[in-house]
Amino acid sequence: MRRNVLLGLVISSGLSVLAASAGCSDGGSNTTGGGGEGGAGGASSSSSSSSSSSVAQSGSGGSTADSNISCDTAAELFLDDPGLQDTLDPIDTDEDFYKFKGAKGQAILISTDAKPPADEFDNTYPDLVLTLYKKQGGQWVQIAENDDPFPRSSNDSALYTILPASDDDEYCMRVTECNVWVGGQPGCAPSADITTYDYAVGAGILDASLESIAAEAEPNDAAAEATAIEYSKNAQSGNYYLSLQWGGYSSATDVDIWKFNVPADAVKVMGDRPVCNFDFYPGGTAGSGSTATAGVIAYVTTAADPTKKLAQVDVTSGQTPAQIAVPCELGTDYLFFMTRKAGSTAGENDFYFVNHGGTGSNPLEVGPNDAANMPEALKATPNGTTTSYFVDGDLDAAPTDIDYYSVDVPAGSATISVACGGQRSGSGLRGLKVSVLGANDMPITGGIGTESETKDLFLQDVNVPAGVTSLKLKVEAASQDAEVSSTFYRCGIHISPPENP
């Protein structure tokens, strides 16, 4: 018998390819997670790692016969009641459906539980996918979907959404295994590896009265009326939970303003600088279900000067949501704005979900490193068979400021991968560019990457020239946005042997 599903928020903070620390969940009493405190390589860990918020915990639950094979024959589920236990059998074809009653505007979490707590990516258990439907004109129409939680901390699904209007307030959800979901296409672990087919599923209403969780409170379109972001500690570990916020746009011109102040003890700084993070849940029918899928602008200012933007992103401009990861001062008042781009059209159900927390940066550039003949040598971080390097820097006078770094290439290395974040992380830098330099300080083949508003800077598995024992990285930007003052970038470099590209 599978364990009961626990509807809680379990997430990790930071982009692992850019940052040396990932901030795993700290195992609070209202979460399903357990884990560590950041990573190696000099990056600070955040003490905020998982939310204390929970919507419901299953009791003994129930089980269903395998007659729930469509929305019309779905098993009945009740919000905030014990979840149901079921089995996907045969694993390569079975789909289970559940229906529940809800109301327009309710913020809910739907969660599955198949993976064991000791390994949330164990391939011997199903990799579940949740799809949510509403009834419209007597037909079932898809409104949201989740494969893995956001950010990815498990293969168990966790779908956060705000319900739209539905005929008779009736909603349906489908649970299936990843291989069924993709129709046999690549992208999932082999279903032949699965030996346990049981799972649990449940749904509940998010409770904004719980610690570290907040819903916007209108009016909040002026700085003096800003909704407060909450911070709370895990009593056992002393670490701060990540905060969860959500809100809705009442019109295309609605502005939501949040105030935040990351506590002075929320980040364990190890010679670098604190970073204030905002991670945005993807919308659309393949995400949270929000109809605000274009022109969502988020930015950060100090509370002292709301007109001066420290960081800004168009959340919806790329294939995946941008994030804000801006250097900040702990114990300082800031404002966080969620707005719509001028000319945006209001949708049927425009809303957003955001996670917030403080972390430390990667090791900061120390310089001088403004010339190719005097690069700053980065410190290696072993990571299995891969050797990684991490750095955060600033281009204080783009495009004239250029930073150079050197990295050692271990014997037998075959490829180098580079991921850097600037504009896509909220920085005012535009056209961030990285060149991997080899002999005569010339770029190696395939070793140039450029970031844009819609595209991450990511060089993947670029071949290292034979016999090379050291490479340089040239970091530059085309310009500085006149309205966004920050000049930061964050990079991760990963050098791999042939068997682990």
Identify the structural domains of the chain with CATH numbers, from first to last. Answer: 49-205 (2.60.120.380), 213-360 (2.60.120.380), 376-496 (2.60.120.380)
Phi/psi at 174 (5° precision): -110, 140
CA distance 146 to 130: 5
Beta bridge partners of 214: 245
Residue 7 has pLDDT above 50, yes or no: no
CA distance 349 to 266: 34
For residue 150, which of 142, 141, 159 has the smallest C-alpha distance?
A: 159
Strands (E), 15-70: 45-46, 50-57, 62-63
Residue 37's Cβ-count burial label (10 Å; 0-12, 13-18, 19+) is: middle
First and final C-alpha spacing in the chain = 39
Mean pLDDT of 369-381: 96
150-159, 319-328, 343-352: which has the minimum mean pLDDT?
150-159
CA distance 309 to 431: 19
Could you read off the pLDDT of 40-92 as tens digits, one per residue?
Answer: 233 344 444 445 444 433 333 455 657 899 999 999 999 998 899 999 999 99
Mean pLDDT of 327-338: 97
- Residue 184 Cα distances to 38, 93, 124, 160, 292, angstroms: 36, 10, 18, 27, 31
Could you read off the pLDDT of 155-204 as tens digits, one per residue?
Answer: 999 999 999 999 999 999 999 999 999 998 888 999 999 999 999 999 99
Counting residues of the chain whose pLDDT is more than 90, the rounded percentage is 78
pLDDT of residue 20: 53
Residue 87's Cβ-count burial label (10 Å; 0-12, 13-18, 19+) is: middle
**Is the sign of the CA dihedral 478, 484, 487, 493 positive or negative?**
negative
pLDDT of residue 238: 87
Could you read off the pLDDT of 387-423 as tens digits, one per residue?
Answer: 999 999 999 999 999 999 999 999 999 999 999 999 9
CA distance 360 to 366: 16
| Contacting residues for 187 by C-beta, under 8 A, at least 6 apart | 178
CA distance 108 to 371: 53
CB-side neighbour CA atoms (13 Å) of 492: 27
